[in-house]
């Protein structure tokens, strides 16, 4: 019955060699499976083949492991947002849209990180490193908003970039939390979360004075804001998703 543990130990010796990393990986899998709340320190230890007390050599407590994962999550999040922004290429609005998509994609594809980052109830402000990592991720959005704000058409007042960034963040986060995760994703929607967010952002930008076309067919001087690869996984809108609400009504 317990030969398994002996076997494990025979395979790897008394010392694990890379327990910290193994625990992080195990936790990541467990959180993805059962959520940040359901994740268990003991389970992670079991999965790594060590005793329940072993993790305490690498993390002060369960929360510190969770924080470590959240921090890694923010770092990967920042990297993905930065890649999506691509310094505003090929044009600012297109890149901006891509950042929003990347936000949703991250929430969808990295549920464990997302969960640790936003749904674990961790005291963010108690951990400076964690807060800084989150700040850096938000910095990508803010930088993009700054570039976008500088682009407001002449004649229209220039919105504060910080406010724009906070608006975009709240839209992305709202859509991700409500429609792009877990059970909520199964809600009946007239459009995909990606399309929903895209329309939302485009309408918002038009409200700021940006010349966004109202229908997929009519175009302005700017190139179409959605690159081809972004249409993957989208069930509706065969006419394209470049307008604020595609072919809907």
Partner DNA sequence: GGCTCATGTAAAAGCCGTTCACATGAGCTG
Partner DNA sequence: CAGCTCATGTGAACGGCTTTTACATGAGCC
Which residues form the interface with a copy of itself (CB under 8 A)? 35-38, 118-119, 121, 123-126, 156-160, 162-163, 166-167, 169-175, 177-179, 182-184, 186, 189-191, 196-197, 199-200, 202-208, 212, 214-215, 244-245, 248-249
Residues 14-33 that bind DNA (CB under 7 A): 14-17, 19
Residue 9 contacts which entry, DNA, a copy of itself, none (Cβ below 5-8 A, type-dependent): DNA
Q: How many Å apart are CA 29 and CA 79, to the nearest integer?
A: 21
Contact pick of 37, 53, 83, 162 for DNA (by CB under 7 A):
53
**Smallest gap from residue 226 Cβ to a copy of itself (A):** 17
Tally Cβ neighbours within 10 Å of residue 89. Answer: 10
User: Of 9-17, 99-107, 151-159, 240-248, which segment contacts DNA by CB under 7 A?
Assistant: 9-17
Q: How many residues belong to the site for DNA (CB under 7 A)?
A: 23
CB 19 within 8 A of CB 48: yes
Q: How many Å apart are CA 149 and CA 161, to the nearest integer?
A: 6
Residue 57 contacts which entry, a copy of itself, DNA, none (Cβ below 5-8 A, type-dependent): DNA
CA torsion sign for 211, 177, 62, 27 is negative
Q: How many Å apart are CA 56 and CA 16, to the nearest integer?
A: 14
Residue closer to a copy of itself by CB (options 58, 206) is 206
Which residues, 6+ apart, have CB-to-CB distance to 159 below 8 Å?
149, 152, 208
Which residues, 6+ apart, have CB-to-CB distance to 167 below 8 Å?
204
Residue closer to DNA by CB (options 7, 51) is 51
Tokens of 82: 């930065």
Residues 57-96 that bind DNA (CB under 7 A): 57-58, 61-63
Residue 24 contacts which entry, a copy of itself, DNA, none (Cβ below 5-8 A, type-dependent): none
Residue closer to a copy of itself by CB (options 22, 191) is 191
Tokens of 166: 């906070």
Q: How many Å apart are CA 185 and CA 163, to the nearest integer?
A: 28
Point out which residues bind DNA (CB under 7 A). Answer: 5, 9, 13-17, 19, 40-43, 50-54, 56-58, 61-63
């Amino acid at each position: 019955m317990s030969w398994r543990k002996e076997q494990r130990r025979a395979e790897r010796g008394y010392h694990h060699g890379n327990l910290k990393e193994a625990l992080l990986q195990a936790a990541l899998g467990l959180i993805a499976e059962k959520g940040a709340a359901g994740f268990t320190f003991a389970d992670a230890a079991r999965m790594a083949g060590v005793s329940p007390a072993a993790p305490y050599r690498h993390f002060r407590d369960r929360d510190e492991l969770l924080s470590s994962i959240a921090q890694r999550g923010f770092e990967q999040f920042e990297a993905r947002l930065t890649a999506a922004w691509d310094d505003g290429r090929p044009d600012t609005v297109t890149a901006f849209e891509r950042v929003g998509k990347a936000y949703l994609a991250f929430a969808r594809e990295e549920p464990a990180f997302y969960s640790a980052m936003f749904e674990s109830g961790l005291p963010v402000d108690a951990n400076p490193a964690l807060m800084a990592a989150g700040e850096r991720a938000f910095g990508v959005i803010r930088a993009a908003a700054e570039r976008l704000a500088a682009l407001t058409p002449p004649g229209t007042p220039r919105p504060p970039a910080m406010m724009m960034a906070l608006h975009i963040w709240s839209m992305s986060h709202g859509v991700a939390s409500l429609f792009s995760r877990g059970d909520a994703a199964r809600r009946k929607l007239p459009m995909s979360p990606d399309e929903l967010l895209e329309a939302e952002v485009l309408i918002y930008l038009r409200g700021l004075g940006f010349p966004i076309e109202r229908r997929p067919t009519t175009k302005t001087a700017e190139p179409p804001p959605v690159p081809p690869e972004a249409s993957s996984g989208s069930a509706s809108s065969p006419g394209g998703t470049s307008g604020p609400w595609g072919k809907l009504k």
